[in-house]
């Protein structure tokens, strides 16, 4: 293999990092070209490390990487969008951490979906500028499920495919919305009226005509229930052992 083939470029958003040895870090990132991957930043924990200073969480970074035997190594990093200063504000930080964690938990390594990179990148950009960053959570989460092929239809019962009428219920364990015939009442179901369902559909729509950002409370609750179901557990920031969604 030539030197050329062993190096590659990637546009990345830094998801988080953990220490390796005395001075290195393993940086987890979502790249536009190669999906989620871990790579070593050598010497990144030394106070004056040039590379360490450019790998701040949630930043958009253009990387040069070198293929290693087990983990690839970050050769250089150029920051393309620095968001850390804006994201230290607690509410923004909480929303950004949640956005990073959901991508980390739901995306498999090495399966690139450029649209997911763009969704994460544009959401972080918006969160860093927003006075009400929580408003982005519902739309971000549902767009993520849609891009992963797991967004349920908002017009039809997910079990019998009949058109939904007046009343319906989100049942996360079924992965979708049920009509009165198919519904098996239980505590976790979330009632959705036609306006909630229209809002749900608009939140999941690609940017453009008919897309919504503001979520009605029941639609937001339905999206959170689906996310918890697909993550197999309620998501909590920093829930992964030994892993920090914080300053790299």
Q: Closer to Zn ion by CB, 160 or 213: give it.
A: 160
Least distance to Zn ion from the beta carbon of 158, Å?
8
Least distance to Zn ion from the beta carbon of 166, Å?
14
Q: Closer to Zn ion by CB, 135 or 156: give it.
A: 156
- Residue 43, sorted as left (phi over 0), alpha (psi -120 to 50) or beta, turns out to be left
Q: Closer to Zn ion by CB, 159 or 237: give it.
A: 159
E strand intervals along 82-231: 168-171, 176-178, 190-192
Q: Closer to Zn ion by CB, 43 or 153: give it.
A: 153
Least distance to Zn ion from the beta carbon of 155, Å?
12
Least distance to Zn ion from the beta carbon of 149, Å?
21
Residues that bind Zn ion (CB under 5 A): 157, 159-160, 179, 181-182
DSSP string, 117-148: HHHHHHHHHHHHH-S-GGGGHHHHHHHHHHHT
Least distance to Zn ion from the beta carbon of 153, Å?
12
DSSP code for 53: G
Q: Closer to Zn ion by CB, 88 or 180: give it.
A: 180
CB 8 within 8 A of CB 74: no
CB 30 within 8 A of CB 36: yes
Q: Closer to Zn ion by CB, 181 or 233: give it.
A: 181
Least distance to Zn ion from the beta carbon of 177, Å?
9
């Amino acid at each position: 293999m030539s030197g050329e083939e062993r190096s590659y470029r990637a546009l990345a958003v830094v998801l988080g990092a953990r220490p390796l040895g005395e001075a290195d870090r393993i940086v987890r990132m979502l790249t536009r070209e190669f999906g989620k991957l871990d790579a070593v930043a050598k010497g990144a924990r030394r106070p004056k490390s040039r590379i360490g200073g450019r790998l701040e969480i949630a930043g958009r970074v253009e990387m040069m990487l070198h293929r290693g035997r087990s983990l690839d190594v970050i050769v250089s990093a150029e920051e393309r969008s620095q968001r850390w200063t804006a994201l230290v504000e607690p509410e923004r930080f909480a929303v950004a951490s949640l956005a990073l964690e959901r991508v980390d938990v739901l995306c498999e390594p090495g399966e690139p979906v450029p649209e997911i990179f763009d969704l994460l990148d544009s959401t972080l950009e918006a969160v860093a500028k927003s006075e009400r960053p929580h408003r982005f959570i519902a739309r971000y989460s549902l767009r993520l499920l849609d891009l992963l092929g797991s967004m349920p239809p908002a017009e039809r019962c997910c079990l019998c495919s009949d058109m939904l009428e007046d009343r319906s219920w989100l049942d996360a364990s079924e992965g979708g919305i049920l009509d009165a015939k198919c519904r098996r009442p239980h505590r976790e179901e979330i009632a959705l009226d036609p306006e909630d369902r229209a809002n749900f559909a608009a939140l999941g729509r690609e940017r453009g005509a008919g897309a919504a950002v503001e979520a009605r409370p029941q639609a937001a609750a339905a999206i959170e229930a689906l996310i918890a179901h697909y993550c197999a557990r309620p998501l909590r920031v920093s829930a992964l052992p030994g892993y920090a969604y914080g300053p790299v």
